[in-house]
């Protein structure tokens, strides 16, 4: 019996081990095969002379190349760096075009119009959610799952590559309907504390970032690191020795249903509307229709992965990896601002709320002993985003919500406000500042910020 070690490039997971093992076992004279993604080697046991050329061809048929991967943390392949740089430039240019053209505000404008609560408008809100801030969280997750699946299954047909997106969105529509029915039945929205939601965002974003790094191929060591290899017998028992490896439609569907709990302002606003119906049937229908509305955006961003092939696919996956990393960075930045606002929260943009003669901002009025603070919650945040109030006086905070967007989910650890969804129209909150300083508030995802500055009230001048 002869033992041949064949180095293999590009292995990243158990699915790679399975496909290469299957391909090598079809070569005449091969008795056993043990593939190690960690070592980057396929160990072949033979009972006869088997030319290495045949083994190499079998590996190539499985979609891989014979040879050793780079051992370093960062690749020295200039092509990879060039593709990643091009992706960064394209994405930055696309973001600039969206800002300059005003197209980035379209989803917010839809949210402004779609506040009537009708079933048709619920679908429209879903469309807006699928094309706006929620895209960074849910869309990034879809892109990560679908692109990674397509990369690991290079020989799959277009329909097979669509499976992750179809399973994810099927689970999302059905799951939203089931969980929405529970919301209508129980009479309370499925919301967690602000910090718990932020931690959830960080976890999801770290998973996205890990997938994004693997897609870019920037780090050969990270691309194959952290992979646990199960014994072959257990692989067969768990049915992981099939061509599609460890992918499961059921897991993708559960992931889609789980997005019901993610802190998207659009989703939370519709959850509150569903809750207000008091009817499990209507609440489930509302949430399913909302999820159905998100299909165009989510299927669009994930469906691109099904169309690319060959050399184009390799470059597309690197582009997708950069996009996933960008989404992850946006989410982590927002979550970090919620978890550590004093250190990380972005400075709130100043607005036309200059101080009056008494030091208050122009959006604060004194009515008797009460300070009335007026703020509008619009699609793109809060107007004005800043205010100045006096210490020790009760504040009546009147928030006029004119658009359904991420900003409709209000959170402030400084004010003791857990994520709450602003209802369309006037919302009134009261609090009394007990010390000078800055009280920050934001949307539930940390995308939009505001601040209330507390100052000492000037004493009246002596006559």
Does the reported pTM lie above 0.85? no
DSSP 405: S
Q: CA-to-CA distance for 396 and 429, rounded, in angstroms?
A: 6
Domains of the chain: 2-66 (3.30.70.100), 78-339 (no CATH), 364-455 (2.60.40.420)
- Dihedral angle sign, alpha carbons of residues 130, 445, 255, 187: negative
Contact 96, 35 (CB under 8 A): no
C-alpha R_g of the chain: 27
pLDDT in tens, the chain (463 residues): 788 899 988 676 666 777 788 889 899 999 899 988 778 889 999 887 888 898 999 988 887 788 887 667 787 778 888 889 998 998 888 778 766 765 555 555 544 444 445 566 677 667 766 665 556 667 767 777 777 677 666 666 777 777 788 888 899 899 999 988 887 777 655 556 777 777 877 877 777 777 778 778 787 766 655 433 334 444 444 343 443 345 577 877 888 888 887 766 567 667 766 776 667 888 888 889 888 888 887 777 666 666 666 556 667 778 878 887 887 887 788 888 888 776 665 555 444 455 555 788 989 999 988 999 999 998 788 999 999 999 999 999 999 988 777 788 888 988 988 878 788 889 999 999 999 999 999 987 788 889 999 999 887 543 4
Which segments of 295-399 does DSSP mark as H helices, in order? Answer: 295-307, 310-339, 341-344
140 contacts 210 by C-beta, under 8 angstroms: no
The first and second tokens of residue 167, run together, are 């399973």
3-state secondary structure of 378: strand
Residue 255 half-sphere exposure, CB side, CA atoms within 13 Å? 24
Residues 6+ apart with CB under 8 A from 44: 3, 4, 5, 6, 24, 30, 32, 33, 50, 55
Tokens of 81: 């760096």
Return phi, psi of residue 41, to 5°: -135, 145
Token code pair at residue 373 = 């603070």
Q: What integer pLDDT is reported at residue 103 of this predicted model? A: 56
CA-to-CA dists, residue 186 to 276, 283, 422, angstroms: 11, 11, 20
């Amino acid at each position: 019996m002869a033992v041949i070690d064949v180095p293999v490039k590009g292995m990243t997971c158990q699915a790679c081990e399975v496909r290469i093992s299957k391909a090598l076992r079809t070569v005449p004279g091969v008795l056993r095969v043990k593939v190690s993604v960690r070592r980057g080697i396929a160990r072949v046991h033979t009972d006869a002379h088997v030319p290495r050329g045949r083994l190499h061809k079998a590996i190539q048929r499985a979609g891989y190349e014979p040879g050793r991967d780079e051992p370093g943390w960062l690749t020295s392949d200039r092509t990879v760096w060039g593709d990643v740089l091009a992706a960064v430039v394209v994405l930055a240019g696309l973001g600039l075009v969206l800002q300059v053209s005003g197209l980035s505000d379209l989803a917010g404008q839809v949210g402004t119009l779609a506040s009537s609560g009708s079933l048709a408008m619920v679908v429209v809100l879903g469309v807006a959610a699928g094309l706006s801030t929620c895209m960074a969280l849910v869309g990034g997750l879809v892109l990560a799952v679908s692109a990674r699946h397509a990369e690991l299954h290079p020989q799959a047909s277009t329909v097979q590559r669509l499976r992750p997106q179809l399973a994810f969105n099927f689970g999302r529509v059905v799951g939203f309907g089931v969980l929405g029915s529970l919301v209508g039945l129980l009479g309370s929205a499925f919301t967690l504390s602000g910090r718990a939601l932020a931690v959830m965002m960080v976890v999801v974003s770290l998973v996205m970032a890990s997938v994004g790094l693997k897609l870019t191929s920037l780090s050969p060591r990270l691309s194959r690191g952290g992979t646990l290899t199960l014994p072959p017998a257990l692989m067969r028992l768990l049915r992981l020795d099939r061509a599609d490896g460890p992918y499961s439609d059921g897991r993708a569907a559960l992931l889609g249903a789980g997005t019901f709990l993610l802190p998207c302002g659009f989703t939370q606003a519709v959850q509150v509307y569903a809750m207000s119906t008091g009817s499990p049937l209507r609440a489930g229908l509302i949430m399913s229709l909302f999820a159905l509305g998100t299909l165009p955006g989510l299927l669009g961003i994930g469906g691109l992965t099904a169309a690319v092939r060959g050399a184009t696919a390799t470059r597309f996956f690197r582009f997708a990896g950069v996009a996933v990393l960008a989404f992850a960075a946006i989410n982590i930045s927002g979550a970090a601002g919620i978890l550590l606002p004093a250190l990380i929260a972005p400075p709130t943009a100043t607005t036309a709320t200059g101080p009056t003669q008494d030091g208050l901002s122009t959006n604060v009025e004194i009515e008797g002993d009460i300070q009335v603070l007026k703020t509008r919650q619009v699609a793109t945040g809060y107007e004005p985003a800043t205010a100045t109030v006096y210490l020790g006086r009760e504040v009546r905070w009147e928030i006029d919500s004119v658009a359904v967007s991420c900003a409709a989910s209000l959170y402030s650890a400084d004010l003791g406000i857990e994520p709450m969804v602003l209802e369309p129209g006037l919302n009134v909150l009261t609090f009394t500042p007990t010390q000078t300083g800055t009280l920050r508030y934001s949307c539930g995802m940390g995308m939009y910020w505001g601040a209330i500055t507390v100052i000492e009230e000037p004493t009246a001048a002596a006559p």
